Structure 1
Amino acid sequence: MPSVERYLALATCVLALGGLTTACSSDESDRSGPVGPVPDGLDRFYAQSLDWGECDPYATTDMSRSLFGGDGLECARLTVPLNYDEPDGTTITVGLLRHQAEDEDNRVGSLVINPGGPGASGMLNAASMAGQVADTAIGQRFDLVGFDPRGVGASEPAVECLTPDERDADRADDAEYDGSPQGVRQAEREEREFADKCAQRTDHGKEMLAHLGTRDVVKDMDVLRSALGDRKLSYLGYSYGTRIGYTYAEQFPRNVRALVLDGALDPEEDSVESLVSQGEGFGASFEEFASWCAERGDCPLKGDPTKAYQDLVRPLLDDPVDAGGGRQLSYDDATTGTIQALYSENMWPQLRKGLSELSRGQGSTLMGLADLYNEREPSGEYANTQDAFMAIRCVDDPPVDDPDEIREAQSRYAEVAPFLDPGTEPSSARDACAFWPVDNTSEPHLPNVDDVPPALVISTTNDPATPYQAGVRLAKAMNGRLLTFEGNQHTVFLQGNGCVDDAGADYLIDGTLPPEGKRCSG
């Protein structure tokens, strides 16, 4: 394959690889202006140079401190407007982490990645992936670039809602499962207080919260594309990151080079339907886990696995058990730990161990799984993922205010995921989004992407969090190609499956889509 010449920012891209134009990147040091089209008033942002350096100053958690010192990693800050309608007003920064392509002579460009959430750190994701993809075709040909979306992780300012002690207390409080009038009032009081704290404790308050959504994140991503020197964007999005991908394609159709969307969200589903669909996924994954568990010793789910599980966790609503370190395992933490383990077959042995411990009145393993989900450090500190998750979700979708709709959604969820039925009256309590201090900035809809190159959508048959059919529908909506992975996990690309990784690499490097109906297995 011919090498990609490193043109200056205003040069014309002429080399096409299998239908995909190369990114035509340039080093920041010889940039003389923005790359590609620039929206009115944003020239200074699109033309900015990135000052890459050591990543240690960007670490905000023990996990990031352990990973950001990896070989070949460098970090920078991207400056963007807080409000794109007021580009001369307040600015914020987006944290970036890069691992450069190993084969510089045949470098295609940057591959921008987002791990989902919403609220997860793309910098952490890129740092954890860099070593394992370094010797692959992707690592050889692309700069791997992870970014923390505005308000997340190392981006400044970060969303702040609960202190670590308040987060611990919130996890220990099972009031949300009390459907009585008194329980609903208490739950809604706590949700309102949460929303108020987010506005009070986050720098720039309501203005920041109003501009956290995917609508603004994709604008940041287009500024990033230009600052990286890429005329067109190559992007990999997992889970909620698929929403970032298809939203970017809708807003900037002419700036898309390639999109890999793995573990898709259904763009048309509202928050209620999304909840029920996810319940179906976790319900199916629990059944798979229970069958696996029953074939092994020390499995407490003999007989009827749903009833056996309920018999283990429901008593926690009234009587939490010791989890070590002075902490008590609540019902919420037990089910959260279970959900965490259902994301991947690799965690099934840990879940079996945790449930066996619970049958003996011990909760340390399930608490550890719940801590992993909540990104709680051994020190007791938290990443801001959960705060950011709620803040982003509340501006991405309309709130659900109808008590009857909420109660029905809870009932439907219990029907499709009966192992998570707490056995209490369904609650009609509204969540924090109903009390959010700013309006939502988007809503579910099919993206208008008629002029966008075909995307590669990867969907897993037994994905617990983003059901397979969501990927089928998104591939159709994106005029793209569906790649099916037969397995029990949430997302799969660049995680060691050769069939999937090769298909994705062929698409990203030279634009070759897999054949119609292509299927891979673990």
Structure 2
Amino acid sequence: MDVRHAAPAAALAVLALVAACTTTTTGRGAAAAGAAPPGLEAFYDQDLSWGPCAPFAVTADDTDAYADPALDCSRVTVPLDYAQPGGETATIGVLRKRATGDRIGSLLINPGGPGASGMSYAPSIAGQIVGTPLAERFDLIGFDPRGVGASEPAIDCETDAERDQERADIDADASPEGVALLEADSQEFVARCVERVGVDVLANVGTRDVVRDLDVVRAALGDDELTFLGYSYGTFIGAKYAQAFPRNVRALVLDGAVDPAQSAVESAVAQNAGFQLAFDAFAADCTTQPGCALGTDPARAVDAFKALVLPLYDAPAAVPDGRTLGYADAMTGVIQALYSEQLWEPLRLGLSELAVGQGRVLMLLADLYESRAEDGTYDDSLEAFPVISCLDEERLTDPAVFLEIDTRAREVAPFRDDGRGPTAARPPCAFWPVPPTTEPALPSVAGLPPVLVVSVTGDPATPYEAGVRLADQIGGVLLSVEGNQHTVALSGVPCVDDVVTRYLVDLAVPDDGTSCTI
């Protein structure tokens, strides 16, 4: 499940670079909305101790954001393995910004990934909604899914030095030797995860268990029903929660939909096609501006782009911090920028730099995607990404399937084709030591309140059509948004934010066919 959601604050930070009290909450929601599952009563009825957020920070950005005295944090205890509720436990980190007015309940937010921290993301959303009915009526809650961010135990498979090394170009191709090299790298990652995280944790961090945790969190917060906003992979969490706990749903906003019924092959092809559309839109804009490194003809932009990035295999570009920008990091930086038009200007500048042998801006964009801080440290989000995905996706082990994926991806996204030929190399999930735990398909859900699905026409990571299908599958209402970016709710687009706010506060469902423009 190759989806991510970049926080607007982080994206704008790259744009700028270029240019003690404790309280207690008693859980009571489970009894009102339906009894706790047998054996889980103690988890559903637990009391939460709230205090300063500083001890929960896992990055320098967290440290700065969590200093806000208006925020408080806590931990929710859950079973590590729900089949053995009397056994080992895990904790889910939660961050809260209290409602300023007549409180309806809690609004829980997941920013995507899988692997992204809801605790880290929530302060930026809190800043975005200051003075709005959402801030007045809801406690804003950011939570870190199990294994992610401040939740414990953490998914931490690699050291910072190992991450840097992995980002260096691997001189692999479609030859048997190249395939063997790539697969060896995949197997090494799996071995590190088994050694450093443990099979017992790896077996229980999929969305199946995140959904169960989410219901425990809801109850521990004292909410009878769940009000939830999920971006990107967060839509998968929301949809699976609706399937598991339909009676406990108050309102769900699912923005940037993952299609649960789509096969891994079709999902990968659709996403690559989406990024090609985003690249084409960027190129159409860039080629109208003076000095665009892609030239003046958008029809020749792919060829011009390849002329810039393919030489990086043999001659990486200089970066001021002493690193060098290879082909892999350059492509990562480009992909990061294609998530949002806000990053088109840095991408244009980065390609212009590359034309003269410099890789500063593209490396900044790649570092944003990879969650690498200025001091060289990484958070664990991209380590959690494959670990969680391996439990959520169908287990594919046939090299022919991966050859088909790569072949078709190159056909629909020629800007990503490096000319070395499609490879049948299998990724880490093909070697994963435990089976999948989440069924991708989403059966129809009876008795569910209306769900609001938001889909952007030019979303590269979760294509628009996936939102159309999810709304149909879940019996939801679709808000179509014309634009070029990955997800949009509460990002400052008045038309969208008004619809989302009225839905969350008043449960006002928009008319069929309602649309907005970014």
Q: Does 1:77 align with 2:42?
A: no
- TM-superposed deviation, 1:317: 1.7
Q: Distance in 2 between matches of 1:136 and 1:279?
A: 37
* Offset at residue 181 of structure 1 (A): 0.4
Q: Which residue of 1 aligns with 2:266?
A: 273
Cα 1:199–1:30 change in 2 (3 A) is closer
In 2, are the aligned partners of 1:94 and 1:147 still within 8 Å (CA)?
yes
Residues 312 and 359, structure 1, Cα contact 8 Å, conserved in 2: yes
For residues 447-480 of structure 1, the C-alpha deviation after alignment (integer angstroms, 9 at most, x for no partner) is: 3312211100000000011000000000001101
**Which of these residues, 502, 509, 512, is aligned with residue 506 of structure 1?**
502
- 1:188, 1:431 within 8 Å by CA — same for their partners in 2? yes
Q: Is the 8 A contact 1:102 1:134 kept in 2?
A: no
Per the alignment, residue 300 of structure 1 pairs with: 293
- Residue 235 of structure 2 corresponds to which residue in structure 1? 242
> Does the Cα contact within 8 Å between 2:28 and 2:223 map onto a contact in 1?
no
1:347 aligns with 2:343: yes
Aligned match of 1:379: 375
Aligned pairs, number: 491
Distance in structure 1 (CA, Å) of the matches to 2:439 and 2:408:
22
CA distance in 2, matches of 1:198, 1:30: 36
Aligned to 1:217: 210
Q: Do the aligned partners of residues 33 and 278 (structure 1) sit closer, same or farther apart at CA in structure 2, a change above 3 Å counting?
A: closer
3-state SS of 1:284 partner: helix
User: Which residue of structure 1 lines up, in the alignment, with residue 42 of structure 2?
Assistant: 44
Task: Please say if residues 29 and 225 of structure 2, whose CA atoms lie closer than 8 Å, have aligned partners that are also in contact.
Answer: no
Q: How far apart in 1 are the matches of 2:266 and 2:46?
A: 41
- CA distance in 1: counterparts of 2:69 and 2:468, whole angstroms: 38
Partner of 1:183: 178
How far 1:218 sits from its partner (Å)? 0.5
The alpha-carbon distance between structure 1 residues 311 and 33, as it changes in their structure 2 partners (threshold 3 A), is closer
- CA drift of 1:400 comes to 2.1
- Kindly state the Cα deviation for residue 34 of structure 1 after the two structures are TM-superposed: 4.8
Instruction: Report the secondary structure of 1:50's partner residue.
Output: strand
- CA displacement, residues 475-511 of structure 1 (integer Å, 9 cap, x when unaligned): 0011010001111111111111111111111111121
1:361 positional shift: 0.6
Q: What pairs up with 1:314-329 in 2 under 5 angstroms? A: 314-329=310-325
- Equivalent residue number for residue 414 of structure 2: 418
Is structure 2 residue 189 aligned with structure 1 residue 201? no
Decide which moves more: 472-481 or 311-320: 311-320
| 2:16 paired residue number | none
Contact map agreement 1:414 1:420 (CA 8 A) in 2 = yes
Q: CA deviation at 1:30?
A: 6.0
Tell me the distance in 1 between the aligned counterparts of 2:427 and 2:238: 27
Aligned to 1:53: 51
Gaps of 5+ in 1: 1-26
Shift of residue 67, structure 1, vs aligned partner: 1.2
Instruction: Give 3-state SS (helix, strand or coil) of 1:412's partner.
Output: helix
- Of the three residues 163, 169, 176, the one matched with 2:165 is 169
In structure 1, the residue matched to 2:327 is 331
Superposition TM-score, scaled by structure 2 size: 0.93
Given candidates 451, 458, 464, the residue that maps to 1:455 is: 451
Identify the residue that residue 438 of structure 1 maps to in structure 2: 434
CA contact (8 A) 2:316 2:327 kept: yes
Indicate conservation of the 8 Å contact 1:353/1:365, yes or no. yes
In structure 1, C-alpha distance between the alignment counterparts of 2:24 and 2:447, rounded to whole Å:
29
The aligned amino acid for 2:339 is Y
Amino acid at match of 2:144: D
Instruction: Report if aligned partners of 1:465, 1:490 keep a CA contact under 8 Å in 2.
Output: yes
**What SS does the corresponding residue of 1:315 show, helix, strand or coil?**
helix
- The answer on 1:407 being equivalent to 2:416 is no
Q: Distance in 2 between matches of 1:70 and 1:489?
A: 30
2:70 is aligned with what amino acid?
A: G
Which amino acid in 1 is paired with 2:180?
Answer: R
Separation in 1 of the partners of 2:316 and 2:456? 35
TM-score with structure 1 length normalisation? 0.92
Shift, 1:323, TM fit = 1.7
The answer to whether the 8 A contact 2:111-2:231 is kept is: yes
**Cα offset, 1:29, TM superposition:** 4.9
CA separation of 1:136/1:71 partners in 2, compared to 1, >3 Å: closer, same or farther? farther
Are the counterparts in 2 of residues 28 and 229 from structure 1 also a CA contact under 8 Å?
no
CA distance in 2, matches of 1:324, 1:298: 23
Distance 1:111 1:358 in 2: 43
1:88 counterpart = 2:86:
yes
3-state SS in 2 of match to 1:451: coil
2:278 pairs, out of 278, 282, 285, with 285
Deviation at 1:31, TM superposition (A): 5.7
Q: Render the CA deviation track for 1:109-156: whole Å, top value 9, x for unaligned.
A: 100110000000000111211122121111111111010000001001
Q: Deviations over 1:346-399 (max 9, x none)?
A: 110000000000010111110010000010011111010010001000111123
| 1:99 to 2:97 alignment | yes
Quote the residue 2:152 is aligned against: 156
What's the counterpart of residue 19 of structure 1?
none
Cα 1:247–1:318 shift into 2, 3 Å: same
Once residues 33 and 432 of structure 1 are traced to their aligned partners in structure 2, the CA distance between those partners, rounded to angstroms, is 39
- Paired residue secondary structure (1:379): coil
Q: Given residue 238 of structure 1, which amino acid in structure 2 is its aligned partner?
A: Y
| Aligned mates of 1:71, 1:496 — CA distance in 2 | 25
After TM superposition, give the deviation of residue 443 of structure 1 in Å: 3.2
**Is the contact made by 2:27 and 2:221 (CA closer than 8 Å) also made in structure 1?**
no
Is the 8 Å Cα contact of residues 334 and 365 (structure 2) preserved in structure 1? yes
The separation in 1 between residues aligned to 2:25 and 2:48, in whole angstroms, is: 9
Is 1:144 the counterpart of 2:140? The answer is yes
Give the 3 Å change call, closer, same or farther, for CA 392–29 of structure 1 in structure 2.
Answer: closer
SS at match of 1:51: strand
User: Relative to structure 1, is the Cα distance of residues 32 and 282 closer, same or farther in structure 2, using a 3 angstrom cutoff?
Assistant: closer
Shift of 1:283: 0.4
Query: Alpha carbon RMSD of aligned pairs, Å?
Result: 1.3
CA distance in 1, matches of 2:326, 2:382: 18
| Secondary structure, aligned partner of 2:177 | helix
What CA deviation, in whole Å up to 9, does each residue of 1:268-308 have, x standing for no partner? 11222211111011000000000110111121111310000
Structure 2 residue aligned with 1:473: 469
> Whole-Å Cα distance in 1 between the matches of residues 393 and 236 of structure 2?
12
Cα distance in 2 between the residues matched to 1:209 and 1:447: 26
State, as a whole percentage, how many aligned pairs show the same letter: 52
Residue 18 of structure 1 is matched in structure 2 by none
Kindly provide the amino acid, as one letter, of the partner of residue 290 in structure 1.
A
Contact 2:255–2:453, Cα closer than 8 Å, also in 1: yes
Aligned counterparts of 1:214 and 1:417: Cα–Cα separation in 2 = 29
